[in-house]
Chains A and B, each alone.
Chain A
């Protein structure tokens, strides 16, 4: 193989970092679908970050004289069965999903519950995928069998058993999302690694005598980031979906924390007695956020495919 001829073509000077960044961002604006998705997502991120400024109420504050009311001046989206303001519960709920991960009673870390679920899944999944794809051999065999067994497990059953076993809390929801997401991420990373490990720069690193872990995480992983990032964006969508479903099934964050899924589950009981608002708004919220994320990821993928 003629390495020297191939690797160093006389390329035009590399554009500056800022310019490359702008080119990346401009892809988004090329797709109307992506722009619409981005606007919806940004709306929720904004509402989540500035939640305390956007409502005079706290999410657990009760108004005993205004229970199950429709939208009004005092409560823009109405109130739930305990007289809590739905708008404030929605935006504080968005916080838990997108911006903070409550760990203890007064302790939280930045990065939403859904986000952390995906990050944890990415960590474990990429490690497994890289090991399977790059090391190959019996490691690959074991990893693949493990992933197959995990995939054979109905997702919902896994959620129910994990949460029923460890109890409902934000950290456990993160855990459940990560466990369920891991096999898919690992498969994707494995297939990317299988492809990338045949490249010349990997051969070069091997000849340099690099440690296999260095090759996996420093040579292969950064070169696979594009598809992984688009996949991760879709996975944040799944994770929000999963969080909502868990909450709805009574397996999400424990009350009285504002959780979209459990808000729907509780509001549902009052629909047929004439107060649909408490179930409607959180459903709208979760549907819009998930659809927004998917529109964004879809538009991005389509545009990036077009430029390839």
Chain B
């Protein structure tokens, strides 16, 4: 017996390993894009790359499977050179810290170009100190290659003025000279590099990155807030996103955005406005081909209408500031941009929206833009054109300072450092490469940072140590939610089970005893109808009858922070739905088994011996008749799980099933995999249990 159980357990383990690999491969090999689900469909490729790096999704699949299984902290520890440890804070958050030799917990962050060490004090507070001493010069041979390649780029950089270029080249050549020297220690290198780097440092405008951000933000604002550009963007999304990736909520937002553009154009260009209105309706109905057709002609008219303003936004977003200045000059040239009534009606609004953000980049330019749209509103196109031209000049100036700062900061030798950041990654920071990364800042969304981490190892303990990772959808550990959801599902299934079993067995026995009579026909046909009707249909019928027409019980479950048993009234309908479905199945099996047993020779013998009817039924038939249903029910758990998922979705019940579904639709890998493992463990575990119970009940198998 023991041997049998051990063998089954081993087989179960093997099944789970295969299943985990299968789930991993299927979900990961799938097309579609988790970054897009997390960040929305508007993300740029750079944002996507940053996201994938930070979540560790850019690594090859076998490596990720291993990390998921056994964790990454041991690998991170060897990179950082200190042990790393997960702690739970007083607020219940899980945080990763590196541990210094004296046991102090330490993390780092980057502020500007300074490395800041954050040491956690025993009372939970954090003390921050500048910790630039930990920077190391990156491998000189690698850096030499990079700088030489950069030198070639510098010669072709059209955004730089000749004077700046020469000054930077001079320092760059000195740096390369120093790097060529052999057998230098870190200290030697640092000392030798101080001089050329100091000179480069002086060329860097400390405000440059802020200006860049402001210009970027202005472009984003223009795209986000301008109704017409939004309508064009909707068309692009519609043509570029595969139809399957679009959800109903996406369509609704697209429809709203197009509608806004239509409203905007109502008095200006009625034909175009009507076209947009039509497209908005097709989007609402999720009719993609119709929407595409109407939008394609509308988009052309729209881009013609937005013209130079659209170019301005495009070039700004692409960080091509000279192009943006050219677009502004375009506006000042009557030959290129005729300021007709339609444009006059639209343009002032467009520029009004970005004046504030432009102020951060260049106050002078913002002032000119203001003058331009004010003149436009007053109908003075001459003055407006002049103001646009002057704004373009100021933009050129800003562009030069940004270009100089960028070029100088990239000409420095990069510094690097492996540490633990504040968002549970082990990261390699790099100073001086000008790399831009996007980071999720709680409360303000994704923001761009210059000089961010160049490499990430997301820290996790691995499934084998009870940590299925962090949910991509919520950003919280999967384990937190998974177990609450599992508990809720177990409550639901448990109650249904307790009700179904006795009821179904008794009804099944009754039907079996009355084989062929009307009572049996009614019970078995009724049972069949309930068991084959899809759960969602049964659920809808019950909601309609008990919640909608009779108004007896709530038709949905809303628990908030409460546990399901604190609101028993909300449990009634979900439990009833599950009960009806399982009832029919168990009933039919019990009936069939009872019919078989009642025909068995030993029952006939018992009757012929003259035993009373009920005595034969209870003492001889029932015990044997129940054997089959009890084991079959265990094997039925697989189906039951499916029923639970659907019931949870119908009633909005916060269980494991709905969690899995949401995660699957979202491609939240860690959550799907964690949930799938639990589900499979439950399914395989009950099958194992069924086997064992059956061997106990049936001695013939035990000794076979």
A interface, CB within 8 angstroms of B: 33, 60, 62, 64, 82, 105, 148-149, 151-157, 159-162, 164-169, 237, 241, 244-245, 248-251, 254-256, 261, 264-265, 268, 271-272, 276, 279-280, 283-284, 286-287, 290-291, 294-295, 298
Contact = CB atoms under 8 A, between A and B. Distances in A.
B535 interface: yes
Interface string B651-687: 0000001001100110100001000100110011001
Given A154-B638, A264-B536, A271-B547, 20 more contacts: A153-B680, A155-B641, A157-B679, A160-B660, A165-B26, A167-B32, A167-B242, A237-B532, A244-B537, A248-B650, A249-B646, A250-B661, A255-B286, A256-B285, A265-B536, A271-B555, A280-B541, A286-B533, A287-B534, A291-B532
B537 A264 contact: yes
Contacts of A164: 27, 30, 32, 664-665, 667, 672
B628 interface: no
B35 interface: no
B29 interface: yes
Contacts of B680: 152-154, 157
B344 interface: no
25 contacts: A60-B287, A62-B285, A82-B285, A152-B638, A152-B684, A155-B638, A157-B680, A165-B26, A165-B30, A166-B30, A167-B245, A244-B534, A245-B535, A245-B642, A250-B661, A254-B243, A255-B248, A256-B287, A264-B537, A271-B555, A276-B544, A284-B537, A294-B532, A295-B528, A298-B528
A106 to B, nearest CB: 10
B31 interface: yes
B284 interface: yes
A249 B244 contact: no
B559 to A, nearest CB: 17
B58 to A, nearest CB: 19
Given A156-B645, A294-B528, A271 B548 contact: yes
B543 A249 contact: no
B660 A168 contact: no
B440 interface: no
Closest 9 CB pairs of A and B: A165-B30, A156-B642, A283-B537, A167-B244, A164-B664, A255-B286, A160-B664, A248-B536, A283-B540
Contact of B31 (A167, A276, A295): A167
Given A249-B661, A287-B534, A291-B529, A154 B642 contact: yes
A268 B540 contact: yes
B683 A152 contact: yes
Q: Which of B18, B243, B533, B650 has the most CB of A within 10 A?
A: B533
A286 B684 contact: no
Contacts of B543: 268, 271
Interface in B619-650: 638-639, 641-642, 645-646, 649-650
Q: Which of A244, A250, A283, A284 has the most CB of B within 10 A?
A: A283
Contacts of A291: 528-529, 532-533
B569 to A, nearest CB: 15
Contacts of A105: 289
B29 A165 contact: yes
B98 to A, nearest CB: 37
Contacts of A244: 534, 536-537
B556 interface: yes
Contacts of B305: none
Contacts of B547: 271-272
A241 B684 CA distance: 24
B271 to A, nearest CB: 21
A224 B350 CA distance: 74
Q: Which of B29, B529, B536 has the most CB of A within 10 A?
A: B536
A93 B555 CA distance: 27
Contacts of B463: none
B548 A249 contact: no
A82 B534 contact: no
Nearest to A105: B289
B228 to A, nearest CB: 25
B15 A152 contact: yes
Given A248-B536, A290-B532, A153 B683 contact: yes
Given A271-B548, A272-B547, A272-B556, A286 B29 contact: no
Given A152-B684, A249-B661, A272 B555 contact: yes
A154 B641 contact: yes
Interface in B568-585: none
Interface residues of B, number: 60
Interface string B119-150: 00000000000000000000000000000000
A248 B639 contact: no
A56 B502 CA distance: 51
Contact of B534 (A62, A167, A290): A290
A161 B664 contact: yes
Contacts of A284: 537
Contacts of B555: 271-272
B525 interface: yes
B23 interface: yes
B19 interface: yes
Nearest to A161: B26
Contacts of A156: 641-642, 645-646, 657
Given A268-B650, A272-B555, A154 B683 contact: yes
A104 to B, nearest CB: 12
A153 B30 contact: no
Interface in B220-255: 242-245, 248
Contacts of A245: 534-536, 642, 646
Nearest to A298: B528
Nearest to B684: A152
A241 B27 CA distance: 25
B13 to A, nearest CB: 12
Contact of B284 (A82, A249, A254, A271): A82
Given A62-B285, A169-B244, A248-B649, A151 B537 contact: no
A161 B534 contact: no
Nearest to A262: B248
Q: Which of A153, A241, A298 has the most CB of B within 10 A?
A: A153
B536 A261 contact: yes
B536 A283 contact: yes
B687 to A, nearest CB: 7
Nearest to B14: A149
Nearest to B247: A250
A57 B470 CA distance: 49
Interface in B26-64: 26-27, 29-32
A165 B27 contact: yes
Given A276-B544, A298-B528, A154 B679 contact: yes
Interface string B536-567: 11101101100110000001100000000000
Nearest to A159: B642
B676 A161 contact: yes
B420 to A, nearest CB: 33
Interface in B274-300: 281, 284-287, 289
Contacts of A276: 544, 548
A271 B652 CA distance: 14
Contacts of B244: 167-169, 254
Contacts of A167: 31-32, 242, 244-245
Nearest to B667: A164
B525 A33 contact: yes
Contacts of A155: 638-639, 641-642
B249 to A, nearest CB: 11
B544 A271 contact: yes
Contacts of B639: 155
B565 to A, nearest CB: 24
Contacts of B23: 161
Contacts of B19: 149, 152-153
Contact of A280 (B525, B534, B540, B642): B540
A82 B251 CA distance: 14
Contacts of B683: 152-154
A169 B245 CA distance: 12
